[in-house]
């Protein structure tokens, strides 16, 4: 809702945070987005592993983000997360563990994984 403008990615900030060159950051991001686009155009199932956050699954027209339990616990606190899960049990369906094989999260079991 409303008029929102996109901000360009600040490659220099990312480079400083990652302690690599701006060119390396730009090349990695552009290469990843290009490969992701290619996979999606071909109709392939894709999983993006978001470090310490969760796994973004794209299967056909369905997009789902499975959060790592630890991430949600850090955001909300252990007690609050337990209360939410008790009141809304299907929240458990949105959570996963970093040790679970990514392919097992997909409906087809076939997915291209972007680490």
pLDDT along the chain (115 residues), means of 10: 82 94 94 91 91 91 91 87 82 86 84 80
**Pairing verdict, β 62-68 and 95-96:** parallel
Distance CA 13, CA 34 (A): 21
Do 52 and 104 share a structural domain? yes
Based on the domain organization, do 35 and 56 belong to the same domain? no
Domain that holds residue 24: 10-42
Both 57 and 80 in one domain: the answer is yes
Tokens of 81: 């997360």
Q: How many domains does the chain fold into?
A: 2
Based on the domain organization, do 35 and 54 belong to the same domain? no
Q: What is the pLDDT of residue 11?
A: 94
Residues 32 and 80 in one domain: no
Residue 24: predicted pLDDT: 96
Tell me if 5 is assigned to some domain.
Answer: no
């Amino acid at each position: 809702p409303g008029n929102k403008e996109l901000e360009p990615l600040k490659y220099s900030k990312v480079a400083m945070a990652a302690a690599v060159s701006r060119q390396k950051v730009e090349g990695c991001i552009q290469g990843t987005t290009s490969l992701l686009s290619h996979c999606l155009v071909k109709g392939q199932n894709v999983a993006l592993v978001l470090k310490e956050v969760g796994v973004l699954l794209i299967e056909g027209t369905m997009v789902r983000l499975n959060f790592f339990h630890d991430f949600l616990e850090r955001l909300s606190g252990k007690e609050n997360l337990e209360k939410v899960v008790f009141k809304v049990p299907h929240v458990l369906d949105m959570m996963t563990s970093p040790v679970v094989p990514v392919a097992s999260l997909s409906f087809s079991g076939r997915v291209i994984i972007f680490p």
